[in-house]
Amino acid sequence: MIRRPGPVPAPPAVEVDRLEPGGRLETAERIVVDGFPLPGFQPYHPGEVFPRSLLERQGVDLFLASRDGVPAGACMTVTDDAAGGVYWVTTLPEHRSRGVGRALMHAVLGHLRGPVTLTSGRPASRSTTPSGSTPSPTRHGGLARCDPMTDNRVDPPYIADETPMLRSWLDWHRETLAVKCAGLSEEQLRLRAVAPSTLSLLGLVRHMADVERYWFRNILNGENAPGIYWSDLHPDAEFDLVDTASAEEAFARWQGEIDHAREVSAGLPPDTLGKQRRRGEEVSLRWILIHMNAEYARHNGHADIIREQLDGVTGE
Residue where a domain stops, chosen among 128, 152, 179: 128
Residues 109 and 227 grouped into a single domain: no
Crossing angle (nearest 10°) for helices 162-181 and 285-311 = 20
Residues 109 and 174 grouped into a single domain: no
Instruction: Report the number of distinct structural domains present in the chain.
Output: 2
pLDDT of residue 7: 56
Query: Is 7 among the domain residues?
Result: yes
Residues 41 and 175 grouped into a single domain: no
Q: List the single range of 80-94, 165-179, 300-314 with lowest mean pLDDT.
A: 80-94
pLDDT of residue 216: 98
Distance in angstroms (rounded) separating the CA atoms of residues 101 and 91? 6
Residues 186 and 75 grouped into a single domain: no
Residues 120 and 167 grouped into a single domain: no
Whether 137 shows a pLDDT value over 70: the answer reads: no
Domain extent for 196:
162-311
Residues 198 and 76 grouped into a single domain: no
- Please tell me which residue, 308 or 135, carries the higher pLDDT value: 308
Query: Is 139 among the domain residues?
Result: no
Q: Report the CATH number at residue 39.
A: 3.40.630.30
Query: Is 263 among the domain residues?
Result: yes
What SS3 state is found at 3?
A: strand
Residues 200 and 86 grouped into a single domain: no
Residues 196 and 251 grouped into a single domain: yes
Q: List the single range of 64-68, 130-134, 173-177, 266-270 with lowest mean pLDDT.
A: 130-134
Query: Is 138 among the domain residues?
Result: no
Residue where a domain stops, chosen among 128, 152, 170: 128
Query: Is 134 among the domain residues?
Result: no
Q: List the single range of 9-18, 90-99, 155-164, 169-178 with lowest mean pLDDT.
A: 9-18
Residue where a domain stops, chosen among 128, 148, 183: 128
Give Cα separations from 158 to 130, 164, 168, 289 (angstroms).
Answer: 51, 11, 10, 18
Residues 82 and 189 grouped into a single domain: no
138-183: per-residue pLDDT in tens?
Answer: 333 222 333 445 577 888 999 999 999 999 999 999 999 999 999 8
Confidence of residue 128 (pLDDT cuts 50, 70, 90): very low
Query: Is 154 among the domain residues?
Result: no
Query: Is 248 among the domain residues?
Result: yes
pTM here? 0.57
- Name residues whose C-beta falls within 8 Å of residue 217's C-beta, 6 or more positions apart in sequence: 223, 225, 257, 260, 261, 264
Residues 173 and 275 grouped into a single domain: yes
Distance in angstroms (rounded) separating the CA atoms of residues 267 and 294? 22
Residues 169 and 123 grouped into a single domain: no
Residues 226 and 123 grouped into a single domain: no
Q: Report the CATH number at residue 180.
A: 1.20.120.450
Whether 4 shows a pLDDT value over 70: the answer reads: no
Confidence of residue 46 (pLDDT cuts 50, 70, 90): confident
**Closest alpha carbon to 121 in 26, 31, 32:** 32
What SS3 state is found at 15?
A: strand
Torsional class of 196: left (φ above 0), alpha (ψ -120 to 50), beta (otherwise): alpha
Query: Is 156 among the domain residues?
Result: no
